[in-house]
Amino acid sequence: MDPIDTRQDSGAAPLAAYALFQTRELDEARERVASVFCPHRLDRIGKGRFDARHHHLAGERLSLNYIDYGTKTLISPGHLRDFYLFQMPLSGAAAISNGGEQYCSDPERAAMLNPHRPTTMIWDDDCRQVLLRIDRAALSAHLGQMLGMRADRPLTFAGPCDLTARGGAALRALILHLVAEADAGRCVLGPGSLLGRQIESALMTGLLEAHCHNYADALDGRRGADLAPRVVRRAEDYMMAHIDRPLALDDVAAAVGVSARALQYAFRRFRDTTPMAFLRNARLERAHHDLQAARPGDTVTEIATRWGFSHFGRFADTYRARFGRSPRQTLQDARLDTFVS
């Protein structure tokens, strides 16, 4: 893979409109980078001129960054603690030590630094990188939504991310597209942006699908609807056990111990529906059964109300769409069968 150039015109570094600093002073660079990431050791170990620059585009749960030191440098932040750092070289290479793992990162292999393991890096003279800083709590929560349950151990990435493989190439393309859009004045990331938040979620999903980590097998095992996670089955059981009672999404989520959003995500991923749609369909089945087995004096309104349908016109439309007949026709057929028999 050739070195990547995201510059819009000659001499313009990526994310130039979001320049945080440019300096030849080592101490200043160390302090300014630490203000975005964390305190760290930064030493010049190459013979070239130290000329550092940092461009920083902040979103809600993650940020896009560009860093270039101009010469070979030693960077030792220790534990990042509250964020993951995805490092994607545009040119050059970096030697990575994260916990017990050691590997090389270059334009074909990105690095993901685990915050709960100590990190030391050496960036080569020509190493220019786009970095994705992801809030640790946000990425763990996103993983929980994909799993349908809370992760019970730290999310830990292993080795470099192959940017030539299908998932890695797609992730790389998305990151570079966001950089190019920002350089063209069409930034979508930022606080309060719904589109930006959706793109952040797409980036986190891309990372979790492209990179090897200790939850990869669990995610692969939950891609089929027939392998729905326990939280979905528990929610279904709870709703069926309380089908004749008023239930809201928050009630069901609380009963199974997840957030409403996580429950919605799990149902959409593994059942291709929502929890409330599942409940509505189950209640429609009960209403259909009661209409077919109606006793003298039973009415459509009474049976609909029994199963939580208070808007009778909407109930009739939904019922017809599901069963091909109106509730009244079903009730009339049941009465006719009773009369004939």
Kindly tell me the burial class for residue 137, based on how many C-beta atoms sit within 10 Å of its own C-beta (0-12, 13-18, 19 or more).
exposed
Instruction: Sketch the domain layout of the chain as residue ranges.
Output: 16-218, 223-273, 277-340
What's the CA gap between 314 and 337, in Å, rounded? 27
What's the CA gap between 332 and 276, in Å, rounded? 29
**Confidence at residue 199, expressed as pLDDT on a 0 to 100 scale:** 94
What's the CA gap between 1 and 134, in Å, rounded? 26
Sign of the CA dihedral with 282 first, then 284, 287, and 293 last: negative
Separation of CA 2 from chain center: 29
What's the CA gap between 167 and 169, in Å, rounded? 6
pTM: 0.65
At 222, the pLDDT band (50, 70, 90 cuts) reads low
Superfamily of 16-218 according to CATH: Jelly Rolls (2.60.120.10)
What's the CA gap between 244 and 240, in Å, rounded? 8
The first and second tokens of residue 301, run together, are: 């309104």
Answer whether residue 235 shows pLDDT above 80: yes
Helix (H) or strand (E) holding 90: strand 83-91
Q: What is the pLDDT of residues 71-111, one digit of tens each?
A: 999 999 999 999 999 999 999 999 999 998 999 999 999 99
What's the CA gap between 60 and 200, in Å, rounded? 8
Kindly tell me the burial class for residue 230, based on how many C-beta atoms sit within 10 Å of its own C-beta (0-12, 13-18, 19 or more).
exposed
Q: What is the pLDDT of residues 113-132, one digit of tens each?
A: 999 999 999 999 999 999 99
Q: The CATH number of 277-340 is which of 1.10.10.60, 1.25.40.10, 1.20.1270.10, 3.30.2130.10?
A: 1.10.10.60
Q: What is the pLDDT of residues 154-208, one digit of tens each?
A: 999 999 999 999 899 999 999 999 999 999 999 989 888 888 999 999 999 999 9
C-alpha triplet 238, 240, 243: angle, nearest 5°:
105
At 8, the pLDDT band (50, 70, 90 cuts) reads very low
Average pLDDT (260-271) is 85
**Confidence at residue 226, expressed as pLDDT on a 0 to 100 scale:** 39
* DSSP state letters, 143-180: HHHHHTS--SS---B-S-EETTSHHHHHHHHHHHHHHH
* DSSP state letters, 37-81: S---EEEE-SSSPP-EEEEEEE-SSEEEEEEE-SS-EEEEEE---
